[in-house]
Amino acid sequence: MKFIHCADLHLDAVMESGMPPKQAAERRSELLRAFSSLAAFAKGEGVRAVIIAGDLFDRCNVSQRARNYFLDTVKSTPEVDFLLLRGNHDSRVLTGCDLPENLRLFGESWTSFDYSDAVITGSEAPDEESLSLDSERLNIVVLHGADRQDFCLSALSGKGIDYLALGHYHSFSSGRIDSRGEWCYSGCPEGRGFDECGEKGFLLLDASDGEITHTFIPSSVRQVVSVDADMTAAESLSAQREAIVSALTGIDRKNIVRVNVTGGFEPGREKYYRSIVDGLAPEFFYLELTDSSKMRIDPADYAGDISLKGEFIRLVTENITDEETRGRIITFGIRALRGEELT
């Protein structure tokens, strides 16, 4: 018998922390479509139940559009049960709704659903001591949260768990509960921010022959990608552009991409990073820049420099200890010495 373990869909997420409104709206729609694609996959693969291990929605005051989209998708896939354990983002979000027959909710006490090949048990407020499972059955347990904060993984050892379906962390990870069972975070089906880089998806479970195995199924429409562009030797506009273009080589233009500029640079170097990235941005769904480069200042290089620039750099390096502040002051100071407009 097949099951799906997914979590952290965060439907109806705002998506506007840095993304323009048009792309943010499109991305919100893609999060909804990710769920309908998952449901279609479940139907096509003969999956008996989809386990949603928390944070189906991004907030408690979810929009009617997102709520109805989810409920309509569930209702239109009657061959599959959807087992929802609500997480910290969507607690009580479906209270008072007319729920489809194939949508089943876990409660605050341990709730079990028997599928002959496996029993699926979960709780939104777990008490590990009160968990009682039939060790002769294949047991899947569903929880949302972090070990030692929301539940105690060590307290679940020896409980007869074969597979612990977890939600909360947005990247796939797994490990052992004990000699019998394994825990897995499925991660989120779609990355939203640059703390969620890489391939995303869900887990297809196969409960047969007395064991449960899992396969990661990549599902993301777009990946969130961060690349570094080393500017240490890039003095000119063309060299800086070449470094950024090289860092972006092989990156799918449909992805959500950040270019992080790294390396060191001499005082007075012109930075063209922003204009270069702005020029490349129309080629991508979304492209942004962060600058982690650092100004390289060796006081020995200016010890014998009797110019106004040398005196200025010596004065700043001797009196300003914070590296970021020192770099900013020197940059503006050199621009002022050149007679440039300061903005």
Which of helix, strand or coil describes residue 263?
Answer: coil
Lowest mean pLDDT among 24-33, 104-113, 126-135, 300-309: 300-309
Read off the DSSP letter of residue 294.
Answer: E
Task: Name the DSSP letter for residue 135.
Answer: T
Q: What is the mean pLDDT of the chain?
A: 90
3-state secondary structure of 340: coil
Sketch the domain layout of the chain as residue ranges: 2-218, 224-337
> Which of 195, 274, 172 minimizes the C-alpha distance to 229?
274
> Are 51 and 102 a contacting pair, CB within 8 Å?
no
3-state secondary structure of 312: helix
**Backbone φ/ψ region at 339: left (φ over 0), alpha (ψ -120 to 50), beta:** left
Measuring CA to CA, which residue among 102, 175, 107 is closest to residue 142? 107
Domain at 2-218: CATH code: 3.60.21.10
DSSP 147: B
Cα separation, 229 vs 204, whole angstroms: 37
- The answer to whether 188 and 10 have CB atoms below 8 angstroms apart is yes
Task: Return d(Cα 219, Cα 9) in angstroms, integer.
Answer: 12
Of 88-97, 170-179, 246-255, 327-336, where does mean pLDDT reach its minimum? Answer: 327-336
* Residue 106 · residue 54 · CB < 8 Å: no
Read off the pLDDT band of 96 (50, 70, 90). confident
Predicted structure pTM score: 0.86
Query: How far is Cα 206 from Cα 225, in angstroms, rounded to an integer?
Result: 31
Cα 110 from chain centre: 29
Single-letter amino acid code for the residue at 198 = G
Residue with tokens 């659903």: 113
Tokens matching residue 341: 């407009």
| Percent of the chain surpassing pLDDT 70 | 88
The number of angstroms, rounded, from the C-alpha of 8 to the middle of its chain's C-alpha atoms is 9
Identify the band that residue 14 occupies on the pLDDT scale cut at 50, 70 and 90: confident
